[in-house]
Amino acid sequence: MNELDAPVAAQTVVLPTGQVLDLADAQQAGQALVEIRQLRDRLEEIRQAAIEALWEEGARRGTKTVHLDGFDVELVGGERVEYDAEKLRDRLTEVGCPIERIEQLIKTVVTYKVDGNVARWTAGANPEYAAAIAACRETVPIARSARVKR
């Protein structure tokens, strides 16, 4: 087991630099966050460079699966085709494409989002509205984080 596999105590953390910080101290916890984010950013740069090197090797070999000693690397991604659906609809209409064919080609997607402020105001105005809103509301846990601003 290496030091990255060791459990982290609630009060201390050992940074890759070897520095031990007390996470109960806000200043030290903030410093830990700054250093960890810098390390994460550097690791991401190295990761991207490795990915680019593997894409170059895949292009040289003419494959999207690079076979290496003991493992394979599958290269995923590259390009994605996107269309301007409104512009396409207009252009196809202009050149006489039947509306039935345009409707097969371009799908309508509708999404709904509830405005939390208006939901609170509406619920406060009428108990029946409040009950309906409450029946359709759920609280979903999200990851906790902290942001460093400079």
pLDDT tens digits for range 97-141: 999 999 999 999 999 999 999 999 999 999 999 999 999 999 998
| 21-56 pLDDT tens trace | 888 889 988 988 888 899 999 999 999 999 999 999
Residue type, 107: K
The β-bridge partners of 65 are: 74
